[in-house]
Amino acid sequence: MNIKDAMKARVSRRAFLGEPVDADVAERLMELMLEINREEGLNFRFIENGGAAFEGLSRSYGMFSGVRSVMVLAGRPDDPERKEKVGYFGERLVLEATAYGLGTCWVAGTFDRHSPALGVPEGDELECVIPVGKARGEASLRERIIHRMTQGRELLPEDIVDSDGELPQRVREGLEAVLSAPSAKNGRPVRFTWRQGRLSAAIPDTYHMQWVDLGIAKFHFELAAGGRFERGNGGVWDPEGTGGAGA
Protein backbone atom coordinates (compact mmCIF):
# COMPACT_ATOMS: atom_id res chain seq x y z
CA MET A 1 0.00 0.00 0.00
CA ASN A 2 1.33 3.51 -0.78
CA ILE A 3 0.43 6.57 1.23
CA LYS A 4 -2.26 7.62 -1.25
CA ASP A 5 -4.06 4.31 -0.75
CA ALA A 6 -3.46 4.74 2.96
CA MET A 7 -5.68 7.86 2.94
CA LYS A 8 -8.64 5.70 1.98
CA ALA A 9 -7.75 2.79 4.24
CA ARG A 10 -7.05 4.79 7.44
CA VAL A 11 -9.43 4.85 10.38
CA SER A 12 -8.56 5.73 13.96
CA ARG A 13 -7.64 2.62 15.96
CA ARG A 14 -7.81 2.56 19.75
CA ALA A 15 -7.27 -1.14 20.59
CA PHE A 16 -3.64 -2.21 20.16
CA LEU A 17 -1.85 -5.49 20.83
CA GLY A 18 0.89 -3.97 23.01
CA GLU A 19 3.62 -5.33 20.74
CA PRO A 20 6.66 -3.38 19.52
CA VAL A 21 6.69 -1.94 16.03
CA ASP A 22 9.06 -3.95 13.78
CA ALA A 23 12.56 -2.47 13.99
CA ASP A 24 12.87 -1.55 10.29
CA VAL A 25 9.51 0.23 10.30
CA ALA A 26 10.30 2.06 13.55
CA GLU A 27 13.59 3.13 12.01
CA ARG A 28 11.88 4.46 8.87
CA LEU A 29 9.42 6.48 10.98
CA MET A 30 12.27 7.84 13.11
CA GLU A 31 14.27 8.85 10.02
CA LEU A 32 11.25 10.68 8.68
CA MET A 33 10.79 12.46 12.01
CA LEU A 34 14.44 13.57 12.05
CA GLU A 35 14.06 14.96 8.54
CA ILE A 36 10.87 16.83 9.51
CA ASN A 37 12.51 18.20 12.67
CA ARG A 38 15.54 19.40 10.75
CA GLU A 39 13.56 21.05 7.97
CA GLU A 40 10.61 22.43 9.93
CA GLY A 41 12.02 23.24 13.37
CA LEU A 42 9.64 20.80 15.08
CA ASN A 43 10.37 18.24 17.76
CA PHE A 44 8.78 14.93 16.78
CA ARG A 45 9.94 11.82 18.60
CA PHE A 46 9.23 8.11 18.47
CA ILE A 47 8.81 6.71 21.98
CA GLU A 48 9.14 2.97 21.90
CA ASN A 49 7.31 2.42 25.16
CA GLY A 50 4.99 5.30 25.94
CA GLY A 51 1.95 3.28 26.98
CA ALA A 52 2.05 4.69 30.53
CA ALA A 53 0.61 7.97 29.18
CA PHE A 54 -2.61 6.04 28.48
CA GLU A 55 -2.83 4.28 31.81
CA GLY A 56 -3.73 7.14 34.16
CA LEU A 57 -6.70 7.32 36.44
CA SER A 58 -8.83 9.28 34.03
CA ARG A 59 -11.65 7.23 32.57
CA SER A 60 -11.18 8.84 29.18
CA TYR A 61 -7.72 7.25 28.81
CA GLY A 62 -9.56 3.94 28.98
CA MET A 63 -10.75 4.56 25.46
CA PHE A 64 -7.39 3.10 24.47
CA SER A 65 -5.98 -0.35 25.17
CA GLY A 66 -2.64 -2.02 24.52
CA VAL A 67 -0.84 1.20 23.57
CA ARG A 68 2.92 0.72 23.39
CA SER A 69 4.73 2.98 20.90
CA VAL A 70 3.77 6.62 20.61
CA MET A 71 4.74 9.38 18.19
CA VAL A 72 5.09 12.57 20.22
CA LEU A 73 4.44 15.76 18.26
CA ALA A 74 5.89 18.88 19.82
CA GLY A 75 7.47 22.13 18.73
CA ARG A 76 8.74 25.48 19.91
CA PRO A 77 6.26 27.73 21.73
CA ASP A 78 7.46 30.76 19.73
CA ASP A 79 6.76 29.13 16.36
CA PRO A 80 3.47 30.67 15.14
CA GLU A 81 2.98 27.96 12.51
CA ARG A 82 3.57 25.11 14.96
CA LYS A 83 0.04 23.71 15.11
CA GLU A 84 -0.56 23.72 11.37
CA LYS A 85 2.84 22.09 10.73
CA VAL A 86 2.12 19.47 13.40
CA GLY A 87 -1.08 18.59 11.51
CA TYR A 88 0.54 18.54 8.08
CA PHE A 89 3.64 16.53 8.95
CA GLY A 90 1.95 14.41 11.64
CA GLU A 91 -0.54 13.21 9.03
CA ARG A 92 2.35 12.24 6.77
CA LEU A 93 3.57 9.96 9.58
CA VAL A 94 0.08 8.58 10.15
CA LEU A 95 -0.24 7.65 6.48
CA GLU A 96 3.25 6.14 6.33
CA ALA A 97 2.41 4.02 9.37
CA THR A 98 -0.95 3.04 7.82
CA ALA A 99 0.85 1.99 4.64
CA TYR A 100 2.97 -0.34 6.79
CA GLY A 101 -0.21 -1.91 8.11
CA LEU A 102 -0.08 -0.23 11.52
CA GLY A 103 -2.94 1.29 13.47
CA THR A 104 -2.83 4.94 14.59
CA CYS A 105 -5.00 7.54 16.30
CA TRP A 106 -4.39 11.27 16.64
CA VAL A 107 -4.80 12.20 20.31
CA ALA A 108 -4.97 15.72 21.71
CA GLY A 109 -6.98 15.18 24.86
CA THR A 110 -7.46 11.65 26.12
CA PHE A 111 -3.97 10.97 27.49
CA ASP A 112 -1.72 12.13 30.33
CA ARG A 113 0.25 14.93 28.72
CA HIS A 114 2.51 15.23 31.76
CA SER A 115 3.55 11.58 31.73
CA PRO A 116 7.36 11.24 32.07
CA ALA A 117 7.09 8.28 29.66
CA LEU A 118 6.67 10.77 26.81
CA GLY A 119 10.00 12.49 27.55
CA VAL A 120 8.90 15.94 26.39
CA PRO A 121 11.80 18.34 26.97
CA GLU A 122 11.25 21.33 29.25
CA GLY A 123 10.18 24.35 27.20
CA ASP A 124 8.70 22.36 24.32
CA GLU A 125 5.01 22.69 23.48
CA LEU A 126 3.40 19.28 23.21
CA GLU A 127 0.48 19.37 20.74
CA CYS A 128 -0.61 15.80 20.14
CA VAL A 129 0.49 12.22 20.43
CA ILE A 130 -0.20 9.38 18.03
CA PRO A 131 -0.19 5.82 19.39
CA VAL A 132 1.16 3.61 16.64
CA GLY A 133 1.35 -0.15 16.49
CA LYS A 134 -0.21 -3.42 15.56
CA ALA A 135 -3.90 -3.02 16.15
CA ARG A 136 -6.36 -5.79 16.96
CA GLY A 137 -7.37 -7.61 13.79
CA GLU A 138 -10.97 -6.60 14.24
CA ALA A 139 -12.25 -3.42 15.82
CA SER A 140 -13.23 -4.07 19.45
CA LEU A 141 -16.78 -3.37 20.60
CA ARG A 142 -15.54 -0.24 22.39
CA GLU A 143 -13.80 0.95 19.21
CA ARG A 144 -16.94 0.40 17.18
CA ILE A 145 -19.03 2.32 19.70
CA ILE A 146 -16.59 5.26 19.73
CA HIS A 147 -16.47 5.20 15.95
CA ARG A 148 -20.26 5.33 15.70
CA MET A 149 -20.45 8.12 18.28
CA THR A 150 -17.93 10.29 16.47
CA GLN A 151 -19.04 9.84 12.88
CA GLY A 152 -21.40 12.56 11.77
CA ARG A 153 -23.37 12.78 8.59
CA GLU A 154 -21.58 11.78 5.38
CA LEU A 155 -20.24 14.91 3.70
CA LEU A 156 -19.83 15.51 -0.02
CA PRO A 157 -17.23 17.76 -1.68
CA GLU A 158 -19.99 20.37 -2.28
CA ASP A 159 -20.58 20.56 1.48
CA ILE A 160 -17.07 21.85 2.16
CA VAL A 161 -16.56 24.27 -0.71
CA ASP A 162 -18.15 27.58 -1.63
CA SER A 163 -17.67 27.97 -5.36
CA ASP A 164 -18.55 30.45 -8.11
CA GLY A 165 -18.28 27.92 -10.90
CA GLU A 166 -17.67 24.33 -11.81
CA LEU A 167 -14.75 22.70 -10.01
CA PRO A 168 -11.98 21.08 -12.06
CA GLN A 169 -11.74 17.32 -11.58
CA ARG A 170 -8.38 17.74 -9.86
CA VAL A 171 -9.90 20.01 -7.21
CA ARG A 172 -12.78 17.60 -6.66
CA GLU A 173 -10.29 14.79 -6.07
CA GLY A 174 -8.46 16.93 -3.53
CA LEU A 175 -11.71 17.68 -1.70
CA GLU A 176 -12.68 14.00 -1.70
CA ALA A 177 -9.34 13.28 -0.02
CA VAL A 178 -10.03 15.93 2.61
CA LEU A 179 -13.28 14.15 3.47
CA SER A 180 -11.28 11.09 4.55
CA ALA A 181 -9.00 13.12 6.83
CA PRO A 182 -9.15 12.75 10.61
CA SER A 183 -10.11 15.84 12.64
CA ALA A 184 -10.36 16.65 16.33
CA LYS A 185 -13.74 15.51 17.68
CA ASN A 186 -14.53 14.75 14.05
CA GLY A 187 -15.35 18.45 13.69
CA ARG A 188 -14.26 18.58 10.01
CA PRO A 189 -13.94 22.38 10.28
CA VAL A 190 -11.93 23.17 7.12
CA ARG A 191 -13.84 24.98 4.38
CA PHE A 192 -12.65 25.83 0.88
CA THR A 193 -13.45 28.77 -1.36
CA TRP A 194 -13.22 28.56 -5.15
CA ARG A 195 -13.36 32.02 -6.76
CA GLN A 196 -12.35 32.78 -10.33
CA GLY A 197 -10.18 29.73 -10.53
CA ARG A 198 -8.45 30.24 -7.17
CA LEU A 199 -8.82 27.87 -4.24
CA SER A 200 -8.23 28.73 -0.57
CA ALA A 201 -8.69 26.80 2.67
CA ALA A 202 -9.84 28.22 5.99
CA ILE A 203 -11.00 27.37 9.50
CA PRO A 204 -13.36 29.42 11.67
CA ASP A 205 -10.71 29.19 14.45
CA THR A 206 -13.10 28.76 17.31
CA TYR A 207 -11.08 25.90 18.78
CA HIS A 208 -7.27 25.77 18.73
CA MET A 209 -7.04 22.17 17.45
CA GLN A 210 -8.59 23.44 14.23
CA TRP A 211 -5.12 24.61 13.23
CA VAL A 212 -3.96 21.00 13.41
CA ASP A 213 -7.04 19.98 11.39
CA LEU A 214 -6.12 22.62 8.78
CA GLY A 215 -2.63 21.15 8.34
CA ILE A 216 -4.05 17.63 8.05
CA ALA A 217 -6.62 18.73 5.46
CA LYS A 218 -4.01 20.50 3.32
CA PHE A 219 -1.80 17.40 3.40
CA HIS A 220 -4.66 15.18 2.18
CA PHE A 221 -5.62 17.68 -0.53
CA GLU A 222 -2.08 17.96 -1.90
CA LEU A 223 -1.50 14.24 -1.81
CA ALA A 224 -4.53 13.69 -4.07
CA ALA A 225 -4.44 16.83 -6.23
CA GLY A 226 -0.75 17.81 -6.25
CA GLY A 227 0.34 21.44 -6.06
CA ARG A 228 0.94 23.23 -2.82
CA PHE A 229 -1.01 25.28 -0.31
CA GLU A 230 0.29 28.43 1.30
CA ARG A 231 0.53 28.16 5.07
CA GLY A 232 -1.95 30.01 7.22
CA ASN A 233 -5.69 30.45 7.57
CA GLY A 234 -7.12 31.31 4.15
CA GLY A 235 -3.95 30.03 2.45
CA VAL A 236 -4.21 29.82 -1.35
CA TRP A 237 -3.49 26.68 -3.38
CA ASP A 238 -0.86 26.90 -6.11
CA PRO A 239 -1.72 24.11 -8.60
CA GLU A 240 1.83 24.29 -10.01
CA GLY A 241 3.49 24.49 -6.60
CA THR A 242 6.27 22.01 -5.92
CA GLY A 243 7.42 20.33 -2.73
CA GLY A 244 3.88 19.60 -1.50
CA ALA A 245 2.56 16.31 -0.12
CA GLY A 246 2.03 14.88 -3.59
CA ALA A 247 5.65 15.49 -4.65
Ligand X SMILES: Cc1cc2nc3c(=O)[nH]c(=O)nc-3n(C[C@H](O)[C@H](O)[C@H](O)COP(=O)(O)O)c2cc1C
- Window 18 to 57, contacts with ligand X (CB under 6 A): none
Give the Å distances, CA to CA, from 52 to 12, 17, 24, 94: 20, 15, 24, 21
The minimum distance between CB 110 and ligand X, in angstroms, equals: 4
Among 75, 131, 182, 189, binds ligand X (CB under 6 A): 182
Measured in whole angstroms, the distance separating CA 8 from the mean position of its chain's CA atoms is 14
Amino acid found at 52: A
Q: Which residues of 226-243 are buried (b: 16+ CB within 10 A; e: fewer)?
A: bbbbeeeeebebeeebee
Among 12, 43, 98, 115, binds ligand X (CB under 6 A): 12
Applying CB under 6 A, the site for ligand X has a residue count of 20
The minimum distance between CB 166 and ligand X, in angstroms, equals: 29
Question: Of 106, 135, 95, whose CA–CA distance to 5 is shortest?
Answer: 95
Contact, 33 vs 45, CB < 8 A?
yes
Closer Cβ to ligand X, 71 or 212, answer by number? 212
Q: Pick the piece of the chain touching ligand X (CB under 6 A) from 30-38, 100-108, 133-141, 189-197.
A: 100-108
Question: Of 199, 156, 203, 200, whose CA–CA distance to 176 is shortest?
Answer: 156
Question: Of 36, 35, 66, whose CA–CA distance to 50 is shortest?
Answer: 66
109 binds ligand X (CB under 6 A): yes
132 binds ligand X (CB under 6 A): no
107 binds ligand X (CB under 6 A): yes
The minimum distance between CB 189 and ligand X, in angstroms, equals: 10
Q: Pick the piece of the chain touching ligand X (CB under 6 A) from 35-43, 157-165, 177-185, 192-200.
A: 177-185
23 phi/psi in degrees, rounded to 5: -60, -40
Binding site for ligand X (CB under 6 A): 11-12, 63, 105-110, 128, 150, 182-186, 209, 212-213, 216
